[in-house]
Amino acid sequence: MRVTVLADNNTYIDQYLLGEPALSYYIEDEEEKILLDTGYSEVFLSNAKNLEVDLAAVNTIVLSHGHSDHTGGLPFLLKMPELGKAKLVAHPDAFEAKHAHNDEIGCPVSKEELNEKFELILSKQPVMLSKHLLFLGEIPRYFDFEPRYAIGKTKKGGVWREDLLFDDSAVAAILRDSLFIMTSCSHSGVCSIIEHARKITGIEKIAGVIGGFHLFEESERVQQTIRYFKQNHIDRLYPCHCTSFAVKAAIHREIPIQEVGVGLTLEL
C-alpha cells in the first residue's frame, strides 16, 4: 500500500510543488485507487500531475468532513469524465452548510450535484473502502481531554446551530497485525479516532498516524495526547496540516516526529 500527500500546508525544499492550508492524500491499495480529501482548490490536481499520479484511476473519493479546505477541489473533479463511475464516501452531515468567521466554510458543491456524478455512500457507520482500507464513520468521544467544541455554525433541518463536527472522520489502513491511521483534521480528537479504529477492527497495535491533529498551543490536552501515544507505543508520527510548530515541537521532545510535505510517499 502506498500513500502520497497531494496537498498540505507544507512543501519540501527544492521540490517546487504547491502548498495550501488544506489536505489531500492519494492512496493505492492493490488495484484500488482512493482519494482522501481534495484540498482547498485545484492545487492537488497540479501536484498530482507533477508527481505523475493519475487521478483518472481513482475508484473512490473519501471526504473526512465538510470543511472547504478538504472539499474545495470537488468542483474540479466534477469536470473529469473519467471519474463517472467513482464512489464518494462521507458522513451524511458533510454537505450541510457551514459558516464561521463571517464566511462560508462548507463544501462548495451540493449533495445533489455530487449525486449526479458519483455513487454517493453517506454513512455514520464504518465502510470498507477496499481490501485493507476502512472509513471509520462517526467517531464517539473516548477521552475527557478531547471534548467536542463548536467551530462556527451548521444548518441542519433548516435551522442554524453550533457545529460540533460530528461529520469528522478518518481512514484506517489494516495491515498484517496493525493499523495505520490517516486523519485529516481530527476534530473528533486524534486519540479518540485511534481508539475507535482499534475498537471496530479488534486490532490493538498502531503502526503509525499521519494527519492534522487540530492542536495549536501547548496545553494539557497536548500532554495527554503525547501520553496516549507513549502508553500505546505509537512512535511513527506524521503530524501535518492543522498541527502548529509549537505542538510538533512538544511532541518531538518526547517522540521524534517525521516531516510531512507535499510529495511525501509512504509505503505501508
pLDDT at residue 117, rounded to an integer = 95
Chain centre to alpha carbon of residue 260: 14
pLDDT at residue 84, rounded to an integer = 87
Write phi, then psi, for 49 (nearest 5 degrees).
-60, -45
| Measured distance CA(66)–CA(88) in Å, rounded | 13
Write phi, then psi, for 207 (nearest 5 degrees).
-75, -25
Chain centre to alpha carbon of residue 76: 19
pLDDT tens, the chain, 268 aa long: 999 999 999 999 989 999 999 999 999 999 999 999 999 999 999 999 999 999 999 999 999 999 999 999 999 999 999 998 899 999 999 999 999 999 999 999 999 999 999 999 999 999 999 999 999 999 999 999 999 999 999 998 899 999 999 999 999 999 999 999 999 999 999 999 999 999 999 999 999 999 999 999 999 999 999 999 999 999 999 999 999 999 999 999 999 999 999 999 999 9
**Maximum distance among all Cα pairs of the chain, rounded to whole angstroms:** 49
**Closest-CA residue to 89 (of 43, 37, 145):** 37
pLDDT at residue 140, rounded to an integer = 97
pLDDT at residue 91, rounded to an integer = 98
| Measured distance CA(222)–CA(239) in Å, rounded | 13
Run of H or E including 119: strand 119-122
Strand order in the sheet with 153-156: 103-104, 97-100, 153-156, 159-162
**Closest-CA residue to 118 (of 202, 39, 222, 38):** 38
List for the chain the helix, strand, coil content (%; round to 5). 25, 25, 50
pTM of the shown model: 0.97
| Measured distance CA(34)–CA(55) in Å, rounded | 9
pLDDT at residue 156, rounded to an integer = 87
Q: What angle do CA 59, 199, 120 make, to 5 degrees?
A: 25
**Closest-CA residue to 69 (of 118, 20, 115):** 20
